């Protein structure tokens, strides 16, 4: 019988590397931030053309961590851009500032929001798969329980009391295992579905 918690499909392998290894993604983003900032200080005569490279670490953070982190990364990029302008004495036109900052923040927001939606969709996919596995387990256990009870009844009628008792014990253990997977802490079901009495009690207390 398939365990409803241990998935047959390895969803982890389907995730991109920055989703499976967020710390590495953050480290790469930091390196990109520092590298672009140093590049702006070293390379002269490029005005604000290198500032567009900040969309790379911002997008990486957005893909790996979502909308909020993307906005934080965008603010960091803007601060680095302002620091570069102050250190080098570069004077950018209002249009150049608006274009650079708007591009960084807008792209980060769009990518971050999209990443959040993708993450929610994958979470829903995992949940649906876990539910389908538990439904299959329940169907298998139901068939097993019905057959075992019928066999135990036949054994009792035949006077095989010990065998009937052992079969009923085994059936009870199998059914209890399914209940533990469905209602236990590792269940895919939400807490209010697994323990509705807690929700009712908390509502009455309020």
Best CA proximity match to 40, nearest among 86, 5, 84: 84
The reply to whether 106 and 17 lie within a common domain is yes
The reply to whether 180 and 133 lie within a common domain is yes
Domain limits at 171? 129-205
Instruction: Give the HSE-up count for residue 86: Cα atoms under 13 Å, Cβ half-sphere.
Output: 6
What distance in Å separates the CA atoms of residue 59 and residue 62, rounded to the nearest whole number? 5
Stretches where the chain sits below pLDDT 70 are 1-14, 45-48, 178-179, 181-206
Query: Which residues of the chain form beta strands (DSSP E)?
Result: none
Is the CB of residue 19 less than 8 Å from the CB of residue 64?
yes
What distance in Å separates the CA atoms of residue 51 and residue 144, rounded to the nearest whole number? 66
Domains in the chain, number: 2
In a domain, 4, yes or no: no
pLDDT at residue number 34 = 95
In a domain, 3, yes or no: no
């Amino acid at each position: 019988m398939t365990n409803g918690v241990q998935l047959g499909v390895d969803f982890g392998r389907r995730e991109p590397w920055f989703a499976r290894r967020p710390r590495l993604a953050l480290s790469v983003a930091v390196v990109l931030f520092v590298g672009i900032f140093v590049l702006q200080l070293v390379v002269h005569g490029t005005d604000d053309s290198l500032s567009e490279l900040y969309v790379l670490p911002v997008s990486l953070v957005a893909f790996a961590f979502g909308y909020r982190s993307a906005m934080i990364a965008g603010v960091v990029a803007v601060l680095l851009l302002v620091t570069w302008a102050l250190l080098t004495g570069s004077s950018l036109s209002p249009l150049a500032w608006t274009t650079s900052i708007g591009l960084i923040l807008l792209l980060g927001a769009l990518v971050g929001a999209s990443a959040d939606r993708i993450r929610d969709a994958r979470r829903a996919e995992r949940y649906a798969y876990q539910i389908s596995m538990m439904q299959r387990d329940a169907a298998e256990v139901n068939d097993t329980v019905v057959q075992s009870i019928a066999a135990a009844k036949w054994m009792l009628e035949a006077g095989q009391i010990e065998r009937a008792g052992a079969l009923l014990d085994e059936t009870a253990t199998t059914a209890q295992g399914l209940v533990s997977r469905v209602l236990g802490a590792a269940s895919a079901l939400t807490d209010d579905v697994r323990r509705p009495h807690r929700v009712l009690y908390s509502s009455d207390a309020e």
